Amino acid sequence: MNAITPLSRLPTSLSWQTDIIILLSRGVSIVEACQMTQVSRATYYRRLNKDPAFKRQVERARAIVELELFEIVRESRDWRAAAWLLEKRYPAAYGTARDRLRYARCSCGAASAVIR
């Protein structure tokens, strides 16, 4: 995966949205990207919900990272680190049964009954 370029080295003319997209495309979480750009998560999510172009760019950036991790899993002999990261970053797709039930907002109590 790519190394993270410190924001101090990024051109100052870039908007915070561009900075966040760059960070997300390098595997940084949304929480970390918001902290690094000094933008509140509320502001990030408001923009994400109001701006379809920004939402598409964010989804694309996150998909790029997911594909890179998938490639590591596919090609590596020691794939456990990438598999762990996929499980933690994308619990709906790669998480434990318990995580997937929670993510799906299961209200039947099955999530608490699933044994890890």
82 domain-assigned? yes
Q: Is 51 found in the same domain as 21? A: yes
The total of structural domains in the chain comes to 2
Domain enclosing residue 51, as ranges: 13-62
Q: Is 87 found in the same domain as 113? A: yes
Q: Measured between alpha carbons, how far is residue 3 from residues 6, 24, 53, 103 in Å?
A: 9, 12, 26, 30
* Tens of pLDDT, residues 22-76: 999 999 999 999 999 999 999 999 999 999 999 999 999 999 998 888 888 777 7
102 domain-assigned? yes
Query: DSSP secondary-structure letter at 8?
Result: G
Q: Is 58 found in the same domain as 80? A: no
pTM: 0.62
What six digits make up the tokens of 24?
């997300």
User: Given this model, what pLDDT does residue 79 score?
Assistant: 80
Residue 104 CA to residue 91 CA, distance in Å, equals 10
User: Given this model, what pLDDT does residue 107 score?
Assistant: 67
| Residue 5 scores a pLDDT above 60 | no
User: Given this model, what pLDDT does residue 109 score?
Assistant: 59
